[in-house]
Amino acid sequence: VSPKIFRISSDIVVNEGSNVTLVCLATGKPEPSISWRHISPSGESDGFGEGKDIFELVPGWFCPIFRLLFPFLWMISGLHLHCSPAFARFSLLMRLINGQQGITIKNYSTRSLLTVTNVTEEHFGNYTCVAANKLGTTNASLPLNPPSTAQYGITGHAEVLFSCWSLVLTLSSLSSIFYLKNILLH
């Protein structure tokens, strides 16, 4: 039976400095292995699970080109080149030691717990649970987001502009009041 994810944590909002645990439950025969993939808000991608950190170094590059241009990279750094059969794109596999980057993964049979301690900005983004066995692969995703502090749904630079515009209007109103007061008193 191909793998099926029957439970994953719902969307999570968490403050920086907090701890959070993501849960993924999967079934299948043979029992599937479960791993995690993370895409940060900046678009960087890495995966966690089974003691490996998996990410695409340069999306769209092909294995033969990479091998030609960077033949000693994985020998010096301890990285291993893995060529995906789909389009011969590659990923680099690197050991992820439990606790590294504040991430701990515990796999119990068909349940995987990914715990982030002391959440930082780099931890926010989309987390994907991947369950795989020899009969197939499936995945499910959830976002880990910071609390929203934006006024009226406006974020980033737009919020700063909105605040500046509010200040200009307030100062303009005050100057008009003082101007009218001076006219009325004279």
> Both 141 and 165 in a single domain?
no
| 71-108 per-position pLDDT tens digit | 554 444 444 444 444 434 333 333 333 455 788 888 88
Do residues 117 and 176 share a domain? no
User: How high is the pLDDT of residue 5?
Assistant: 94
Domain of residue 23, residue span: 4-145
Q: What is the mean pLDDT of residues 176-181?
A: 52
CA distance 54 to 24: 18
Q: Quick count: other Cβ atoms within 10 Å of Cβ 26? A: 26
Give residue for tokens 């406006």.
154
51 and 124 in a single domain? The answer is yes
Share of the chain above pLDDT 70, in %: 47
CATH code of the domain containing 83: 2.60.40.10
Q: Is the peptide bond before 30 cis (omega within 30 degrees of 0)?
A: yes
The 10 Å Cβ neighbour count of residue 110 is 18
Q: Is 39 in the same domain as 95?
A: yes
Q: Looking at the 3D structure of the chain, how many domains does it have?
A: 2
Q: Does 54 lie in the same domain as 8?
A: yes
Indicate whether 96 and 54 sit together in one domain. yes
Question: Which of 118, 105, 103 lies closest to 19, judged by CA?
Answer: 118
On whether both 179 and 102 belong to a single domain, the answer is no
- Does residue 74 sit in the same domain as residue 12? yes
Q: So what's the pLDDT on residue 36?
A: 86
Kindly report the pTM of this predicted structure: 0.55
Confidence of residue 118 (pLDDT cuts 50, 70, 90): very high
Backbone CA torsion sign across 143, 148, 152, 154: negative
Q: Between residues 16 and 157, which one has the greater pLDDT?
A: 16
Q: Are residues 164 and 139 in the same domain?
A: no
Distance CA 91, CA 57 (A): 6
173 and 104 within one domain = no
Same-domain status, 29 and 51: yes
The answer to whether residues 141 and 168 belong to one domain is no
Q: Could you give the residue ranges of the DSSP H alpha helices within the chain?
A: 63-69, 73-77, 157-185
